[in-house]
Structure 1
Amino acid sequence: MHFFETECIALSKMEQVTKIVVFVAAPRDVAAERKVIANAIADLNIGFASSKNLFIELRQWETHVWPGFGEDAQDVINQRVGPYDIFIGVFWNRLGTPTGRAQSGTAEEFARAYASWKQHRRPSLMLYFRRSPADLASTDEIEQKRRLLEFKETLQKLGALVREYSDVEEFSRLVSLHLIQELTSRERSAEIQNLHDRVDDQQRRISEQEKALQRQQHMINELVRYSMAEYIFKHLQWVYHGQKGESGYQEYIYRKNEAFERDIRFLRDHGFIEYIQIACSRLTADLTQEEWKLYLGDENYRSTREAAASYLRIQGQGTKTSAE
């Protein structure tokens, strides 16, 4: 296999890899923990993350922020650190130097991450506090510790579950385990979301099919209704001409009226009355309004045959029907 083919295969595989960005916020007294996080991520990229087609990118201001200008140095960091998926905050004795917007640069980074989480439920927030004692030799160090404890209390009031650790070795185990758990949780969430998407897509397809069937049924119903209207019209032609005494029509009326009345009743009860009206209006355009109403029987939805009989009585022709 040529080198070019090997490189193409590698690029093809890389296209399927999901990148997870981890941002670390920590004051300078936890520099060892920063190195631990970097090593843990490197190990995960070789093993666990690689097996899941994931790549974890560690993002820190030291490596991802270049010189520039802003309201202050922290403002430049905020502008250039970019979006991320997981926020890891680590603390021991210091909170950091205040900015014009927050208690410290680290506190400001957390505040921005928390605001994003409140609105979008991302990034995930993982907070660690080292509980091992340290020598606080100066007033500044004591003040830093006091401010840090206040900050921790604020986090807990916001609903944070923080994790404490005793030393760097324990932190190394915890952060590796928690990153694996977080990535596994994301994988399950993605699978569930994909399942929901497939279900939603299937439901949309079913809905579209149902709408198509409804349209087809509507067309069929329209054809049936049109046919029924034509049937009514043709029958009423016989009734109308029979009212005028034309030969051959009365026998048809006597013979067909019982079945026709049953058909009209069925059509009326199933919403076809407008087609009966159309058929009648086509036949009786020369009638007066009152005669038309009686002929149609729209007040009580009387059957067309009964309306026709009423019309016969109004005309005084005295033609007998089976109803009389």
Structure 2
Amino acid sequence: MSYPCTAFEVLISSPSDVTTDTLATIRHAIARWNAQMGKATSTVVIPVAWGEDAVAEFGGRPQGLINDQLTDRADACLAIFRDKLGSPTGEAVSGTWEEIERLDAAGKPVGILRDASARPAATGTSDVEELLRLNKHMEEHTYSRALVLPFTDKAELQDHISQFLTRFTSQAERTAEHERTTLPAETDPALGVWPRIESSEYIETDSKGRTKTRRRHELVLSNQTGRPVHG
């Protein structure tokens, strides 16, 4: 059965080493949240990610095009890190970090998770360097600004996703309710102006001297605001 709802787009942001299994788990967790909470909250969450939703385009910086297509229209962001920070974009240390900074600057919620599941240690020179780069960036630029939560398995990841979505949609609903109750009073110049129809009778004499009773109707606007109102 259909129901009215508000749709929110959540950007799934991650460097290339985050596994397809992890990304699939995130989408599954969002779908499960929609099934369990969507109707009760009149909300649906739509996951978007550059790997699935970006469109081929020429004529701009690659990350800039992704920003135009996906990042700037997203309502929130879930960023996932594993062992890599990602490739520099020309404006940020990585695409994922540029998306985090961009959405945070726009006042939109950002949740950062890190894959702490058991796996073989990095051994190649480039892999070790990238892991050290990620750890350094987290220490110097992330942990002082964010609560980064680790996950070790699918169940823990799904739990983090569910909690993030519940908190994000609740905050969004409170903001929307505040706007519904305060914005009209501040922006509608006609609020408090009430229309009414007033009728009165008058006598009309025709060319032969005969009189007729006529009724006149007037629209009256009554200002109840206590201040001048301009139409």
TM-score normalised to structure 1 length: 0.53
Q: Spell out the pairing of 1:1-324 with structure 2 (5 A cutoff).
A: 13=3, 16-31=4-19, 32-81=21-70, 82-116=72-106, 121=107, 123-132=108-117, 134=119, 135-153=121-139, 154-157=141-144, 159-197=145-183, 205=192, 208-211=224-227
Aligned mates of 1:211, 1:72 — CA distance in 2:
52
What is the alpha-carbon root mean square deviation over aligned residues? 2.8
1:36–1:172: 8 Å Cα contact kept in structure 2? yes
SS at match of 2:73: coil
8 Å contact 1:44–1:50 — kept in the other structure? no
Tell me, which stretches of 5 or more residues in structure 2 are unaligned?
194-222
- Identical positions, percent: 25
Q: Is the 8 A contact 2:76 2:103 kept in 1?
A: no
Q: CA deviation at 1:97?
A: 1.8
Q: 1:210 to 1:101 in 2, by over 3 A?
A: closer
In structure 2, how many angstroms separate the alpha carbons of the residues matched to 1:136 and 1:87?
A: 28
Which amino acid is the alignment partner of residue 128 of structure 2?
I
Q: Give the aligned residue type for 2:101.
A: A
In the alignment of these two chains, the number of paired residues is 194
SS of residue paired to 2:143: helix
Once residues 25 and 165 of structure 2 are traced to their aligned partners in structure 1, the CA distance between those partners, rounded to angstroms, is 13
Aligned to 1:284: none
Alpha-carbon shift at residue 147 of structure 1 (Å): 1.3
Change (3 A) 1:87 1:209: same
Higher share of residues assigned helix = 1
CA distance in 2, matches of 1:73, 1:146: 26
SS at match of 1:129: strand
SS in 2 for 1:102: coil
| Alpha-carbon separation, structure 2, partners of 1:112 and 1:184 | 22
Q: CA deviation at 1:198?
A: 6.9
Per-residue Cα deviation, 1:229-280 (whole angstroms, up to 9, x for no partner): xxxxxxxxxxxxxxxxxxxxxxxxxxxxxxxxxxxxxxxxxxxxxxxxxxxx
CA distance in 2, matches of 1:24, 1:85: 11
Matched position secondary structure for 1:108? helix
Distance 2:63 2:151 in 1: 28
Distance 1:91 1:38, change over 3 A: same
Deviations 1:53-104 (CA, angstroms, capped at 9, x unpaired): 2221111112221112244433332232251111110111111122222222
Between the aligned partners of 1:78 and 1:25, the Cα distance in structure 2 is: 11
Unmatched 5+ stretches in structure 1: 1-8, 213-324
Alpha-carbon distance in 2 for matches of 1:85, 1:47: 21
Contact residue 33 and residue 90 of structure 1 kept, 8 A: no
**C-alpha deviation, 1:38, in angstroms:** 0.6
TM value normalised by structure 2: 0.72
The structure with the largest strand share of the pair is: 2
Answer whether contact 2:78 2:112 (CA < 8 A) is retained: yes
- 1:131-170 CA deviation, whole Å, 9 max, x = no partner? 345411111111111111122120233x222222223321
SS in 2 for 1:30: coil
The structure that has the greater radius of gyration is 1
- Which structure is richer in relative contact order (CA contacts within 8 A, separation 6 or more)? 2
Tell me if structure 2 keeps the 8 A contact 1:30–1:90.
Answer: yes
2:200 corresponding residue in structure 1: none
Distance 2:226 2:149 in 1: 53
